[in-house]
A and B are shown apart, each in its own frame.
Chain A
Amino acid sequence: MAAAALTSQLNALVNNMFAMGLLDDQFQQLQMLQDSTAPDFVSEVVTLFCDDGERIICELSRQLEKPNVDFDRVDSYVHQLKGSSASVGAQKVKNTCIQFREFCQQRSRDGCLKTLDLVRTEFYDLRNKFQAMLQLEQQIQACYPKH
C-alpha cells in the first residue's frame, strides 16, 4: 500500500482514539516532542506504557486474589498505573484508575475487582490500538528509502 494511504489510515485511527476519549491532549504533547533527535519517541513511550500497564494489571489481579487484601499495596499499584496513563494521555484508563483508588480507600474488594475488570478491558483495547498505530508507522517508514 502506498505511504499516503497508510498515513490516512494512521490519522483516522489516531483521530478515532481521540474521538472515543481514549486519548487526551497529553498525547498530542508527546507527538509534538517527537523530532529528529528522537524520531521514535512516541513509540518508545507507548511501548513503555504497554509493558508497564500489563505488569501492573497482572500484579493487581494477584493482589486482589489474596485472602487478605492489602489495600494500601493495591492502591500504590493503581497509583502507578494512573501516573503512566496520565503521562501518555491515556485518558480513559486514567479516569478508571481514579475510581479504582476510591474503592481502595473504601477497602471494597468487590469494587476493586469490578474496576480491575473494567481497567483491564480498557487497557487492552488501548494497547491493541497502540499496536496497530505502531505497525502502521513502521509500514509507512518502510515506504521511504533509508538515509
Chain B
Amino acid sequence: MAAAAQAPAAAKVVVATSPRAGGGGGGGGDRKVVPVVVAAAAGDEAQSEMHVLAVDDSSVDRAVIAKILRSSKYRVTTVESATRALELLCLGLVPNVNMIITDYWMPGMTGYELLKRVKESSQLKEIPVVIMSSENVPNRISRCLEEGAEDFLLKPVRPSDVSRLCSRIR
C-alpha cells in the first residue's frame, strides 16, 4: 500500500556539524548548518508541538536524546556546542524554543555556562533549561538548580525522564 507521502510535519532538524576536538574550545569547526531536513512525523501534532534545542558534543548522545524527544512529540533542533546554541538563540535562528536541554560537560563552553548566559539574558531567560550529565555530583546538581535550571537529568537519559519533564514544562 504505497501511500503517497503525507504532508510531513514541521519536524525541522538543524544539524550543525563540526569535527569534535578533544579539548580547547572555540575557533575551528566548520559553521555549516545543514538546514531543514524534513523528517516524517505524525502530521496532526504539528500545531501543538513544543520545540526543544538539544545541545551535546557527542554525536551518539545527540542522536539518542533527539529520538527520545521526538518520540515524546517534541520538535528538536540539535547542536554540538554551547557556543553554537547561544549563537542560534541570540540571532533568533531557532525561534520559539520552548526548552533547552544541554549536556553539562562539553569542550569550550560548558552547559553550566550556557545556563548562566541564558538566565542572564532578558530575551532568553524565560526558556527552561535542563542539564544532563553522566556524573552524579551533588554539588554540580545543586549549583545548576541554584542558577535556575529546570531539572538535572543523569545520563544516559531515558524516555521515562523525558515524559516526566514533558508533563511539567508548559
Q: Does A125 contact B (CB under 8 A)?
A: no
For chain B, residues 136 to 170, give those with C-beta under 8 angstroms from any C-beta of chain A: 155-156, 158-159
Tally of B interface residues using CB under 8 Å = 27
A residues near B70, Cβ cutoff 8 Å: 37-38
A117 within 8 Å of B (CB atoms): no
Q: Are B134 and A82 in contact (CB under 8 A)?
A: yes
> A75 → chain B, closest Cβ, in Å?
10
In the complex where A33-B68, A37-B70, A147-B1 touch, is A76 in contact with B63 (Cβ < 8 A)? no
How many residues on chain A are close to B (CB under 8 Å)? Answer: 28
Closest residue on chain A to residue B40 by CB atoms: A37
Provide the bound-state CA to CA distance between A23 and B102, in Å. Answer: 26
**Residue A86 interfacial (CB < 8 Å):** yes
| Interface flag for A87 (CB, 8 Å) | yes
Q: Which of B22-77 contact A (CB under 8 A)?
A: 22-23, 39-42, 57-61, 63-64, 67-68, 70-71
Q: Are B58 and A29 in contact (CB under 8 A)?
A: no
Q: A29-B159, A59-B22 are in contact. Are A38 and B64 (CB under 8 A)?
A: no
B interface footprint on A83-111 (CB within 8 Å = 1, 0 otherwise): 11011110000000000000000000000
The residue from A32, A38, A44, A83 contacting B58, defined by CB atoms under 8 A apart: A83
**A115 within 8 Å of B by Cβ?**
no
Residues in chain B near residue A147, CB distance under 8 A: 1-2
* B107 contact from A44, A48, A52, A76, Cβ within 8 A: A76
Query: Quick check: is A41 within 8 A (CB to CB) of the other chain?
Result: yes
B159 touches A87 (CB 8 A): no
Tell me whether A49 and B60 are in contact (CB under 8 A).
Answer: yes
- Chain B residue nearest in CB terms to A146: B2
Which of A37, A76, A86 is close to B22, meaning CB atoms less than 8 Å apart? A76
Whether B63 contacts A80 by the Cβ 8 Å rule is: no
Partner of A84, one of B61, B67, B159: B61
Contact between B22 and A79 (Cβ–Cβ < 8 Å)? no
Closest to A44 in B: B63
A residues at B contact (CB < 8 Å)? 26, 29-30, 32-33, 35, 37-38, 41, 44-45, 48-49, 52, 59, 73, 76-77, 79-80, 82-84, 86-89, 147
Name 12 extra pairs, CB < 8 A, besides A77-B22, A87-B60: A29-B158, A37-B41, A38-B70, A41-B63, A44-B63, A45-B63, A52-B59, A52-B60, A76-B22, A80-B58, A83-B61, A83-B134
